Amino acid sequence: GVSDQDRVLAQRISDDGRACVVLLNKWDAVDEKDDKTYLKSVEYVKEALPAVKWAPVLLVSALTGQRCPKIYDAIDQAVTSHRTRVSTAVLNEVIRDAILWQPPPVRRGTKGQGKVYYANQVGVSPPTVALFCNKPGLFSENYKRYLERRVRESLGFEGTPVKFLWRGKRVRTIDQEKRKGASSRKGANTAAKGRYKGDSTSQG
């Protein structure tokens, strides 16, 4: 079974933001096993190690070699997920779909409803997502976990923790940043056109 030392190690892995694959050896010693036994064993491990519930679980046998070849594939996938960067457009599409499917509930004793303006991946190893909203305190922990789960499932972050940063921002500030970004892009395009025109003239 899962020991206290295993739980401590799992928590350390999660806290340090490491990729992880959980292996259970001596699967050959389990008698009268079937698909249900396998699924129940995987579920037991995930419940016993909640800190790394996102990690894939393989029940293997070092003695017979059962499922051992799958270990390296699982590790490769975990490393790839740990280093994955998702485009802002795709990330925001996932967030919008999740919110449309289940809008943030109004919390008792608070004024207003939580609103997510946009999201942006700000780091990798582990993937780190910043969610810009009106007020983080308006989102319950259950709803935060819901959004985080939808992001993980939709984008295939398997074998890696995903860090979420909830940041409060005013709509006015976001509009100003968008205008500033658009102005910067416009200036860059104008400068590029000017350089291109100058190059064409010099060649003539």
Helices (H), ranges, 61-140: 69-82, 88-101
Per-residue pLDDT of the chain (204 residues; tens, 9 = 90+): 789 999 999 999 999 999 999 999 999 998 888 889 999 999 999 999 999 999 999 999 999 999 999 999 999 999 999 999 999 999 999 999 999 999 998 877 666 789 999 999 999 999 999 999 999 989 999 999 999 899 999 998 999 999 999 999 766 555 555 566 556 656 656 655 565 555 544 343
The confidence score (pLDDT) of residue 204 equals 36
The confidence score (pLDDT) of residue 105 equals 85
Q: How many CA atoms lie within 13 A of 9 on its CB side?
A: 9
The confidence score (pLDDT) of residue 186 equals 61
The DSSP bridge pattern shows strands 128-133 and 116-123 to be antiparallel
The DSSP bridge pattern shows strands 116-123 and 57-59 to be unpaired
CB atoms within 10 A of CB 129: 22
Residue keyed to tokens 């894939």: 56
The confidence score (pLDDT) of residue 32 equals 83
How wide is the angle at C-alpha 6 spanned by C-alphas 5 and 9, nearest 5°?
Answer: 85
Amino acid in position 147: L
Going along the chain, which residue ranges are E strands?
22-24, 57-59, 116-123, 128-133, 163-168
CA distance 18 to 10: 10
The confidence score (pLDDT) of residue 54 equals 94
